[in-house]
Amino acid sequence: MDTILVAGGAGFIGSHLCRALSDAGHRVICLDNLQTARPSNLKLLEDLPNFTFVEADIVNALPASVTDAPNLTRIYNCACAASPPQYQADPEHTMLTNVVGTNHLLRLAEKTGARFLLTSTSEVYGDPEVHPQVEGYRGWVSCTGPRACYDEGKRAAEAMTFDFARMSRAEVRVARIFNTYGPHMHPDDGRVVSNLICQALTGRDITVHGDGTQTRSFCYVSDMVRGLMALMESDIDGTEPVNIGNPDEFTINELLDMVLELVPNAGKVVNTPLPQDDPRRRRPDISRARDVLDWSPRVPLSEGLPMTAEWFAEEVGAEMSVREA
């Protein structure tokens, strides 16, 4: 049996990925510092067969339980706080996670021959002037703003990953993940889908940043995990990043309307200031993923949002129910 390492495996996407890899018959090591992970996500994973949890931070030297794992064939790097309020809370650590942490995992890939996949981000495109975003677009990113610790960190992580590939030090894949949502997000994650649903369920003010005309394209988590696994197993040239996301684009106001349809008796909507450097619009061009991975998303927002709202309704113990979809 081969072993797959998932750094950040107790996080939102990482925990779904651990489960899918275990279901596919692999031994899974989940490495996580539990900074933004949900303990309940981890509890659900601990019953999986051939599953091991290692608490450690990839910023530090990796523990022997990871470096000496038998038959390590794949390394997924999903380790980094990804929500703006969370990655900005300790920006130095965010940058180190992406640069030093990725280096530790790449060196492990070099030593073991395991294939390495970096989960990069649509944030490498910054506040994009090209729409939708194709992988060849180099982005419009501020290296001085509050998002830089994350987006410049991910850009540096990509650069290092591609250098390892160019120098034949490791076999690599790079996914650029666009906004992803679904069950097992942290209710306090701070991102728009979890915020709007949880605020509506608990009757708190619903915070729309700016006038709500900015756009995002939301990918359901099962589609994301399927895309990441397809990319890892593909024989794509490792020096090409691949956008993984759902190209259906919505304004935040449209998302809000869908949430209000689902959750009766929600509180009032308040417009709060638009955060600095908040991208005006974002939508992936997924031609490459379609062509090379034969992958495209299957779950539209109209299906994924009710499933997510139902899960949150149970999770936050709201007395208010979710309206039948």
Calculate ∠ Cα 214-240-21, nearest 5°: 85
Q: Is 176 in the site for ligand UDP (CB under 6 A)?
A: no
Q: Which stretch binds ligand UDP (CB under 6 A): 103-111, 188-196, 284-292, 302-310?
A: 188-196
What Rg value do the Cα atoms of the chain yield, rounded? 19
Let me know if 76 is a catalytic residue.
no
Residue 296's region, left for phi above 0, alpha for psi from -120 to 50, else beta, is beta
Cβ distance to ligand UDP smaller for residue 30 or 185: 185
When asked if residue 155 is in the footprint of ligand UDP (CB under 6 A), the reply is no
**Residue whose CB is less far from ligand UDP, 164 or 220:** 220
Spatial separation of the C-alpha atoms in residues 44 and 9, rounded to whole Å:
12
Taking CB under 6 A as the criterion, the residue among 275, 310, 311, 320 binding ligand UDP is 275
Site string for ligand UDP, 84-123 (x = CB under 6 A): x---------------------------------------
Q: How far is the CB of 29 from ligand UDP (least distance, A)?
A: 28
281 binds ligand UDP per the rule CB under 6 A = no
Binder among 209, 222, 260, 292 for ligand UDP (CB under 6 A): 209
Contact call for residue 191 and ligand UDP (CB under 6 A) = yes
CA distances from 28 to 75, 80, 145 (A): 10, 19, 37
- Residues contacting residue 196 through CB under 8 Å, at least 6 positions apart: 206, 207, 255, 256, 259
- Residue 204 CB, nearest approach to ligand UDP (Å): 11
Q: Is there binding between residue 278 and ligand UDP (CB under 6 A)?
A: yes
Cα-to-chain-centroid distance, residue 254: 22
Give 202 or 234: the residue with its C-beta nearer to ligand UDP. 202
Q: How far is the CB of 83 from ligand UDP (least distance, A)?
A: 6
Nearest distance, CB of residue 180 and ligand UDP, angstroms? 10
Least Cβ distance, residue 192 to ligand UDP (angstroms): 3
- Find the binder of ligand UDP among 69, 72, 75, 208 (CB under 6 A): 208
Token pair of 323, please? 């309206």
Q: At 203, is the secondary structure helix, strand, or coil?
A: coil
Which of 31, 192, 293, 307 touches ligand UDP by CB under 6 A? Answer: 192
- Interface residue with ligand UDP among 50, 60, 65, 207 (CB under 6 A) is 207
Q: What share of the chain is helix, strand, coil (3-state, %, to 5)?
A: 40, 20, 40
Alpha-helix runs per DSSP H in the chain = 12-23, 39-45, 64-67, 84-89, 91-96, 102-112, 148-166, 192-202, 221-233, 252-262, 287-288, 301-315
d(CA 240, CA 175): 9
- The Cα–Cα gap between 137 and 155 comes to 13
Compute the half-sphere exposure of residue 324: CA atoms within 13 Å on the CB side of its CA.
Answer: 0
Q: Which residues are catalytic?
A: 150
Residues of the shown chain interacting with ligand UDP in the complex, contacts defined by CB under 6 A: 83-84, 179, 191-192, 195, 207-209, 214, 216, 252, 275, 278
